[in-house]
Homo-oligomer: A and B are copies of this chain.
Amino acid sequence: MTTLLIVDDHPLQRMGFRMLVESQPDLTVLGEADNGADAVRMAGDLAPEVVLMDVRMPGMDGIEATKRIIASGVRSRVLVLTTFDLDEYAYAALRSGASGFLVKDAQPEELLSGIRVVADGDAVVAPKLTRRLLDRFADQFPVEGEPSHREAAEQLAVLTDREREVLTAIGRGWNNVEIAERFHLAESTVKTHVGRVLAKIDARDRVQAVIFAYNTGLVSPDNHS
């Protein structure tokens, strides 16, 4: 049984959601809120598995409410509902920590499907929003970065493509096992690469490699994950 909290400032809209949701044997509504502040409080009290959150509300909007719910440490997952005409809010919503983004005029089956996906710990994004998400994602990750420090850049140049990838991974704080997993390599292979990188950039250990990566601009603040 998946528990829900419905957040929307329009009573009629809430009614619609409740009708749809309660028609499903595996879904149940714990409560409703008509503003962001109540939503945050009720999420803390009721600990619903999924919060259906309208973005546009008077006072605290759905995005701010989402951030606070996520920050509060409650296990609730938030499924944000947008009307899609808002572009400036779109990215803020994506960053808010929500587990899903659907358009309010979606088919009922899509909404129900989205609720179950989110309840399972996965995420869902409406196709139209996904398009923009991918475009933005592509923009923000240029194929090759631009080193700012020329001198060190020469050392960067002597690295092979693979070694530069590994150095970037080191710069993100990943350990050898994590690097191996993300690149589908054996840990021993990663060690080999790391060793060569350290020798080439004249670093004693991966800590100094991180510093090197920052000084060359290979990685920048908030470039991690």
Q: List 14 A-B contacts (CB under 8 A).
A: A87-B184, A91-B141, A96-B143, A97-B138, A99-B134, A122-B127, A122-B128, A136-B225, A139-B222, A139-B224, A171-B211, A175-B205, A207-B210, A215-B224
One digit per residue, 1 when the CB lies within 8 angstroms of any chain B CB and 0 when it does not, for chain A 200-225 equals 00001111101100110000011111
**Which residues in A have some Cβ–Cβ distance to B below 8 Å?**
67, 84, 87-89, 91-92, 94-100, 117, 120-125, 127-128, 130-131, 133-143, 146-149, 165, 170-173, 175, 181-184, 204-208, 210-211, 214-215, 221-225
Other CB < 8 Å A-B pairs besides A99-B134, A135-B225, 13 of them?
A: A94-B134, A94-B138, A94-B141, A95-B141, A95-B142, A97-B138, A100-B130, A122-B128, A125-B130, A133-B137, A149-B222, A173-B207, A175-B204
Q: How far apart sit A11 and B197, CA to CA, in the bound complex (Å)?
A: 40
Task: State the CA gap A141–B88 with chains docked (Å).
Answer: 12
Q: Closest 10 A-B residue pairs measured CB to CB? A: A122-B127, A123-B130, A123-B131, A173-B208, A139-B225, A215-B221, A117-B127, A88-B182, A210-B210, A87-B182
